[in-house]
Amino acid sequence: SLLACSFFCLFPTVYDEEKQHENFQEPNFHRLYQKGPPENIEKLKCILHYFRRITEEMPSGVITIQRYALPEKAYPNWCNSEIGLSQLCLTKEKKIEDIKNVLQADFANKYIGGGVLGSGCVQEEIRFSISPEMLVSLLVCEVMEDNECIFLIGCERYSSYKGYANSFQFDGDFRDITPKDNWGRKWCHLVAMDAIYFSDPSIQYKMDNVHRELIKAYASFRPLEKEPGFEFGIASGNWGCGVFNGDKELK
């Protein structure tokens, strides 16, 4: 119902004169309906395919949207840390969304969803297009602070795709066979984490910027569950190293 309201542009816009919702992402679809790049049509195909699927077979279960703020008292003392580096596995064969039973990174805009309902079509926008239930987060999540991230748990994938950015194309149905947890959520855990945009790439090496990115990543990858021995893998990549001008080696 919420996504249908977004589709028909029934929610208050963030562009109203009183600016009541300026800390939120624009939730309505009207920008996708305007003249724009061809990939906007492809994103609409993904979303329309989702509506077709759920009218044929209504899904069951729940999704969880959880905003997390790392308290300042929990900031690590990086200089004195004796914790070793985790095991690292590198692959070019899979996309982040193809790696199962791990925490998947969403290279997010600080306004969650980025340009998914506009002209954007890179990692975050594609992820939200193929799993449209994630779009609900645009309605309930304000702009993220430097110590915050947003967890999206249980969202099903409905579409296949090919290409990236201006070559992105809807590529048919996708059947998500990911099992569900005891809450009825698909075992798909995604964390939205926004990197700094560096108009001048050289300033990313300043320690205040390095510290900010470390805190953002730590908040995003820190296990929320308190069970002893709870651990999970993380599927990530070149976070903030595209249009945000991040340095791959530094990240």
Q: Which residues are annotated as a binding site for substrate?
A: 109, 123, 164
Sign of CA pseudo-dihedral 119, 152, 28, 110:
negative
Active-site residue flag, 124: yes
Which residues sit in the known binding site? 109, 123, 164
Element (H, E) at 102: strand 102-108
How many other C-beta atoms can be found within 10 angstroms of the C-beta atom of residue 141?
22
Q: Name the catalytic one among 26, 39, 97, 106.
A: 106
Q: Return the bridge partners of 106, or none.
A: 192
Catalytic-labelled residue, pool 39, 125, 133, 148: 125
Structure tokens at 210: 């390095």
Asked if residues 139 and 27 have their Cβ atoms less than 8 Å apart, the reply is: yes
Contacts (Cβ under 8 Å, ≥6 apart) of 222: 70
Residue 4: count of CB within 10 angstroms of its CB: 10
Measured over the CA atoms of residue 41, residue 94, residue 240 and residue 153, the dihedral's sign is positive
Helix (H, G, I), strand (E, B) or coil at 212: helix
Please, which contacts does 226-233 make with residues 24 or more away whose CB atoms are closer than 8 Å? 232/101, 232/102, 232/103, 232/189, 233/99, 233/101, 233/102, 233/103
Does 26 qualify as catalytic in the annotation? no
Determine which one of 124, 148, 156, 213 is catalytic: 124
Which stretch of DSSP H or E encloses residue 135? none
Instruction: Tell me which residues are annotated as active site.
Output: 106, 124-125
